[in-house]
Amino acid sequence: MAEQEYDLIVVGSGAGALLGAIRAQEQGLKTLLVEKASLFGGTSALSGGGIWIPVNYDQARAGIKDDLETAFGYMKRCVRGMATDDRVLAYVETANKMAEYLRQIGIPYRAMTKYADYYPHIEGAKPGGRTMDPVDFNAAKLGLKALETMRSGSTGSMLFGKMSINAFEAHSMLSRELKSRFTIVGIMLKYFLDYPWRNKTKRDRRMAGGQALIAGLLAAANKAGVEMWCNTPLKELVQDASGRVTGVIVEINGQSAQINAKRGVMLAAGGFERNQEMRDQYLNKPTRAEWTATPVDGNTGDAHRAGQAVGAQLHLMDWSWGVPTMDVPKEPAFRGIFVERSLPGCMVVNAKGQRFLNESGPYPEFQQAMLAEHAQGNGGVPAWIVFDAGFRAQNPMGPLMPGSAVPDSKLRRSWLNNVYWKGETLEDLAAQIGVDAAGLKDSARKMTEYAQSGKDLDFDRGGNVFDRYYGDPRLKNPNLGPIEKGPFYAMRLWPGEIGTKGGLLTDREARVLDTGGKVVEGLYCVGNNSASVMGPAYAGAGSTLGPAMTFAFRAVADMKGQP
């Protein structure tokens, strides 16, 4: 059994893990990062890369006013007592320092001035500016060899499955801004003309979103000299007689090895979304591992259990970062439907053909509404997203590109009655998908009326600034459109998630607490491995990555005895 010693051992290689490792190494702590998978980056590499940073450095440029008290008040109200004020305050006070640090190590972000906080009705919410998106990253700065060690982005989030598109460009396209046509042409030209790069790799040189974040972090980790081992799963934590965590047992080539950590171990091994047994034990039912949008097979809660074995307290285990998902054959995970559900001219119904939610609302609440509807016996799992020929022609939906670009005749044949269902009339469609026809017709009639009046009398869709972010601003209500012209389409939605959010309970320095509320010395935890500082909520886009990196930043400060 090999035995080695470092100051800090970081477990996992998502955004929080990498940021913690870089910061620690730069602060003089000899750091080792161990990753279970054969590639670095975790779900973070496939994410949008957005971070929710109140009072951030880029708000002034955009003329946005924000302050710590307002941000703290908003987040505290979102959290509903499920994370302590102490932790919430620590987050609000440190998030921008962490973002500044990201910029310093070569990963600048821009404030998304039009992307509202998720709960505009809660006091202290801002109509934009707290969510930040990473500036595009040139993969050449990471280098081809290191690029090969990094998890690639999901094709579903790329233009034509190949070209990176950042959040600003995606929003411009979906809002039908004229300039977006030039943007798309520009992206395609840059991609196709970049022969020197494309001769070397299929991956786009221009990285956006989570790819930009993780490539930037990997480049910084290499520069700082962090030692990183893939194919090295954590098995157990090692404690001394006093209960202090002093190292880890990992598996290397089938052999156990103990590695000691003088200052601490930071668990950042993601959620347990891929572990069906843990889902059955903790999450609301029904719940299936295959519904998750997280394609990282290794996120099986190993470090939750390792933490529990040394006495850690678990918290928020029945919560996840919910999102409706869709099964797209050949994709590594179900696809999260973040945006399209908000566009005008579609509606979501239960087995009775009735709407039961605001389709444009925040996605975690969407998933919760599906489960609640199911629990009431109305058939909310699966739910169906239904639209007509007019919507189909103009808009994307999951893997279906707008019909004007890719008509039904060009879609894969195997997708019919598998990915999408199609009926000449609503009755026909209802019979195919097993939904009540009278209910479906009634819901479509009401939606068409609401589109004309601009007011959704049932769920107030489009009634706030968050809903309207993804919509058609030319309409009376950007989120409402008629459903009246055949053929009609339906696609199936599942209550998936982009990660679980329950885990090891920590204090304001990301130190793990035991079941008696005492600190487990030497053990830190961040990201989806830990119980989220957001409690049951999703304060704004970037509510998972922002805290993961911010608490990793704080953990290192704690190890170094910094305030």
Q: Residue 10, interface with ligand FAD (CB under 6 A)?
A: no
The Cα 531–Cα 499 span in angstroms is: 12
Q: Residue 548, interface with ligand FAD (CB under 6 A)?
A: yes
Would you state the structure tokens that stand for residue 269, as one six-digit string?
């091994």
Residue closest to 288 by CA, chosen among 299, 278, 298: 278
Q: Residue 278, interface with ligand FAD (CB under 6 A)?
A: no
Binding window for ligand FAD (CB under 6 A); candidates: 238-246, 412-420, 478-486, 541-549: 541-549
Residue closest to 543 by CA, chosen among 211, 48, 20, 153: 48
Three-state DSSP state, 28: coil
Q: Residue 12, interface with ligand FAD (CB under 6 A)?
A: yes
Starting from the edge strand earliest in sequence, which strands make up the sheet with 51-52, in order?
Answer: 51-52, 131-134, 109-111
Q: Residue 139, interface with ligand FAD (CB under 6 A)?
A: no
Would you state the structure tokens that stand for residue 270, as one six-digit string?
């993601």
Chain centroid, CA 229 distance in Å:
25
Assess contact for 526 and 533: CB atoms under 8 A.
no
Site for ligand FAD in 313-332 (CB under 6 A): 321
Site for ligand FAD in 62-81 (CB under 6 A): none
Would you state the structure tokens that stand for residue 373, as one six-digit string?
């509807």
Site for ligand FAD in 477-506 (CB under 6 A): 498-499
Q: Using CB under 6 A, pick the residue from 389, 543, 551, 559 that binds ligand FAD.
A: 543
Question: Looking at beta carbons only, is 131 or 394 nearer to ligand FAD?
Answer: 131
Assess contact for 271 and 498: CB atoms under 8 A.
no
Residue 331: CB minimum distance to ligand FAD, A: 11
Site for ligand FAD in 510-539 (CB under 6 A): 527-529
Q: How many CB atoms lie within 10 A of CB 285?
A: 12
Q: Using CB under 6 A, pick the residue from 7, 22, 49, 558 that binds ligand FAD.
A: 49
**Residues written for the chain:** 563
Residue 527: CB minimum distance to ligand FAD, A: 3
How do beta strands 314-315 and 320-326 pair? unpaired
Question: Looking at beta carbons only, is 88 or 296 nearer to ligand FAD?
Answer: 296
Question: Looking at beta carbons only, is 357 or 541 nearer to ligand FAD?
Answer: 541
Q: Residue 164, interface with ligand FAD (CB under 6 A)?
A: no
Find out whether the peptide bond into 402 is cis, omega within 30 degrees of 0: no
The Cα 472–Cα 462 span in angstroms is: 10
Q: Using CB under 6 A, pick the residue from 15, 289, 383, 531 that binds ligand FAD.
A: 15
Binding map of ligand FAD across residues 440-479, x = CB under 6 A, - = no contact: ----------------------------------------
Q: Using CB under 6 A, pick the residue from 16, 54, 496, 540 that binds ligand FAD.
A: 16
Q: Using CB under 6 A, pick the residue from 34, 90, 107, 510 that binds ligand FAD.
A: 34
Residue 277: CB minimum distance to ligand FAD, A: 15
Q: How many CB atoms lie within 10 A of CB 487?
A: 14
Binding window for ligand FAD (CB under 6 A); candidates: 7-15, 21-29, 172-180, 252-260: 7-15
Residue closest to 280 by CA, chosen among 303, 308, 301: 301
Residue 287: CB minimum distance to ligand FAD, A: 17
Residue 234: CB minimum distance to ligand FAD, A: 4
Which amino acid does the sequence have at 312?
Answer: A
Q: Residue 31, interface with ligand FAD (CB under 6 A)?
A: no
Rg (CA), the chain: 23
Q: Using CB under 6 A, pick the residue from 19, 22, 37, 158 that binds ligand FAD.
A: 37
Q: Residue 303, interface with ligand FAD (CB under 6 A)?
A: yes
Which amino acid does the sequence have at 123?
Answer: E
Q: Residue 289, interface with ligand FAD (CB under 6 A)?
A: no
Residue 225: CB minimum distance to ligand FAD, A: 20
Q: Residue 166, interface with ligand FAD (CB under 6 A)?
A: no
Q: How many CB atoms lie within 10 A of CB 516?
A: 7
Query: Which residue in the block uniquely carries the two structure tokens 């060690």?
Result: 149
Binding window for ligand FAD (CB under 6 A); candidates: 12-20, 188-196, 444-452, 507-515: 12-20
Question: Looking at beta carbons only, is 211 or 394 nearer to ligand FAD?
Answer: 211
Instruction: Show the DSSP H helices in 32-143 as ranges.
Output: 68-79, 85-104
Binding window for ligand FAD (CB under 6 A); candidates: 36-44, 169-177, 374-382, 508-516: 36-44
CA dihedral 181, 187, 188, 191 (to 10 degrees): 180
Q: Using CB under 6 A, pick the residue from 268, 278, 400, 513 that binds ligand FAD.
A: 268
Chain centroid, CA 291 distance in Å:
14
CA dihedral 14, 15, 21, 23 (to 10 degrees): 180
Residue 295: CB minimum distance to ligand FAD, A: 7
| Residues contacting ligand FAD: total by CB under 6 A | 44
Site for ligand FAD in 336-365 (CB under 6 A): 336
The Cα 120–Cα 97 span in angstroms is: 25
Q: Using CB under 6 A, pick the residue from 128, 233, 423, 536 that binds ligand FAD.
A: 233
Q: Using CB under 6 A, pick the residue from 14, 54, 364, 462 that binds ligand FAD.
A: 14
Q: Residue 47, interface with ligand FAD (CB under 6 A)?
A: yes
Three-state DSSP state, 560: coil
Assess contact for 59 and 117: CB atoms under 8 A.
no
Instruction: Show the DSSP H helices in 343-493 as ranges.
Output: 363-375, 389-394, 426-433, 437-453, 465-469
The site for ligand FAD (CB under 6 A) is made up of 11-17, 34-37, 42-44, 46-50, 233-234, 268-270, 293-294, 296, 298-299, 302-303, 321, 336, 498-499, 527-529, 541-545, 548
